[in-house]
Amino acid sequence: MTGSKTVVEVGDSKVMVDCGLFQGLKSLRLKNRESLPIEASEIEAIILTHAHLDHCGYLPVMVRNGFKGKIYCTHPTEKLTEIILIDSAKIQEEDAERANRHDYTRHEVAKPLYTQEDARKTLQLFSTHNYDEWVIINNDLKFQLVNSGHILGSAMVELKVGSKRLVFSGDIGRSDPMLFTLQKRSGKLTIWLWSPLMETDCIELKVQKKDFYRPSKRLIVKVEF
């Protein structure tokens, strides 16, 4: 799975969890040029699980297309995302320049998906927070970031929507994690795993106290309520 994006809509509020770039095969990369089924300006906030390109690399496109809200993440994720986005933009600019110079583009003029300037504008919207710190987005939505052990700064997003608790796993760490100690989470949680903006099957997983859920494969799921 690549190009991770999930939108939670509660009343008039829309929050996106992760904003990734499609990578790999050309058929996947072309999806980065397609319009999303929602306007960027309609999104109130974006929450990042971690700084890998397939989870943060589409942010400059959202900002260029009208997103003006906050981008929430941990402190290390902000620092890593800055490196990732500037580097990604630089590579795209160089690829476009090379295609134009050697005239091997199918387009009249090859253009990067976004530029280094777009990436720097995006970085101005970041708001960083500690693990296990509840952050209020509005009267209906709040969240906290929980260490997932995947990379430095990576987190699961525990989102409170009224009486519901939704957890977006992002990428899960190792079975013998080096970056954190397995935490015991009290109560029952509804787990979201790998739900990009596309039609998906619905599944709700309940995790009991003392359990640590580590999927053996990536799933595409969402919960309707």
Q: Which helix (H) or strand (E) holds 60?
A: helix 59-64
- Other Cβ atoms less than 10 A from the Cβ of 3: the count is 23
Residue of 58, 73, 60 whose CA lies nearest to 116: 60
Spatial CA neighbour of 170 closest among 127, 219, 116: 219
Strand partners, 157: 145, 168
Cα–Cα distance, 3 to 90 (Å, whole number): 19
DSSP-derived secondary structure letter, 90: H
CA 204 to CA 83: how far, in whole Å?
36
Class of domain 5-207: alpha beta
pLDDT, residue 185, reads: 52
Instruction: State the sign of the Cα–Cα–Cα–Cα dihedral 99, 91, 197, 141.
Output: negative
How far apart are alpha carbons 156 and 212 in whole angstroms? 12
| Average pLDDT per consecutive 10 residues, the chain (225 residues; last block may be shorter) | 86 93 85 90 96 95 96 97 96 90 78 94 97 94 91 91 85 69 51 38 34 37 39
Q: Kind of pairing, strands 70-74 and 135-136?
A: unpaired
Considering only the C-alpha atoms of the chain, give the largest distance between any 2 of them, rounded to a whole number of Å: 60
Phi, psi values for residue 184, rounded to 5°: -95, 120
Bridge-based pairing of strands 126-129 and 5-10 is unpaired
Give how far the C-alpha of residue 2 lies from the chain's centroid of Cα atoms, to the nearest Å: 10
CB 207 within 8 A of CB 191: yes
Query: Alpha-carbon torsion 33, 36, 39, 43, what sign?
Result: negative
CB count within 10 Å of CB 5 equals 21
